């Protein structure tokens, strides 16, 4: 760290700014700056710096909320997926990344299963609502891909992750890649595009919900194979 570097907490930085504002005003020929004006300026700054959420509509009553972002301190924040219906709302998932698509009240999305930022690179894939809970279907998609290619599922179990979710004419598209390749520095990922009819994807989710295990993450119950 450079010698003499100044580190301030948010409250300290605003107090310093108020002091500096007064000095600038005096340098400009104003003997004093009205206290009310200083307070107004600081309140505006507080409201802009402290704003830590924004809602982005995804469709079918779903929206993505960014929480914890602080541009002043270069903190990117964390995406959450919420659903609003019948005047109420619920958090579908506390950590979403990349894209989400919706159709007929169903949302397919990427997210993380822990707070680890590595999920941005190796995301899980979910469907909601099935059994009134998000269902993690990564391995279900891998099994579908293996069956389609005539491979034994055990050969590719735990190998793939999926991102770049899209929806066209009732067909969900995802991009699959081997986890080991993504985690190896210098490796060039070889992505495979996989298309799954939405009804088939729902069947995968239902099968996982029926035979899977219920777990919790940040207070949200989900089902995973």
pLDDT tens column, 4-56: 333 233 343 444 444 444 454 455 555 554 655 545 544 444 444 433 347 89
pLDDT band at 107 (very low <50, low <70, confident <90, very high): very high
| pLDDT one-digit tens code per residue, 60-73 | 999 999 886 555 44
Extents of the domains making up the chain:
10-50, 53-224
- Does this model's pTM top 0.75? My answer is no
- What pLDDT is recorded for position 126? 98
- Whose tokens are 């999926």? That residue is 162
Q: What interhelical angle do 10-27 and 35-50 show, nearest 10?
A: 140
Is the model's pLDDT at 189 over the cut of 60? Answer: no
Over residues 137-143, mean pLDDT = 96
Which tens digit of pLDDT belongs to each residue from 207-221?
999 999 999 999 999
The mean pLDDT value for 103-122 works out to 92
pLDDT the model gives residue 117: 85
Three-state SS string over the chain comes to CCCCCCCCCHHHHHHHHHHHHHHHHHHCCCCCCCHHHHHHHHHHHHHHHHCCEEEEEEECCEEEEEECCEHHHCECCEEEEEEEECCEEEEEEEEEEEEEEEECCEEEEEECCCCCHHHHCCCEEEEEEECCEEEECHHHHHHHHHHHHCCCHHHHCCCEEEEEEEEECCEEEEEEEEHHHHCCCCCCCCCEEEEEEHHHHHHHHHHHHHHCEEEEECCEEEEEC
pLDDT above 60 (res 120)? yes
Q: What percent of the chain has pLDDT over 70?
A: 68
Out of 2-16, 69-83, 140-154, 166-180, least confident range: 2-16
């Amino acid at each position: 760290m450079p010698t003499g570097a100044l580190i301030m907490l948010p409250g300290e930085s605003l107090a310093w700014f108020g002091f500096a504002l007064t000095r600038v005003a005096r340098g400009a020929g104003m003997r004093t700056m009205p206290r009310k004006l200083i307070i107004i300026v600081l309140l505006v700054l507080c409201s802009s710096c402290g704003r830590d959420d924004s809602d982005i509509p995804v469709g079918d009553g779903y929206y993505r909320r960014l929480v914890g972002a602080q541009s002043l301190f270069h903190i990117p924040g964390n995406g959450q997926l919420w659903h609003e219906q019948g005047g109420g709302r619920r958090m579908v998932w506390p950590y979403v990344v990349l894209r989400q698509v919706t159709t007929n009240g169903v949302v397919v999305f990427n997210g993380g299963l822990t707070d680890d930022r590595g999920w941005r690179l190796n995301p899980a894939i979910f469907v909601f609502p099935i059994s009134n809970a998000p269902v993690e279907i990564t391995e279900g998609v891998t099994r579908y891909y293996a069956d389609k290619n005539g491979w034994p599922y055990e050969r590719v179990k735990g190998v793939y992750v999926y991102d770049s979710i899209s929806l066209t004419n009732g067909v969900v598209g995802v991009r699959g890649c081997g986890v080991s390749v993504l985690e190896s520095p210098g490796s060039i990922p070889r992505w495979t595009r996989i298309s799954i009819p939405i009804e088939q994807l729902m069947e995968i989710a239902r099968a996982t919900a029926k035979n899977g295990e219920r777990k919790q993450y940040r207070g949200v119950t989900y089902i995973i194979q």
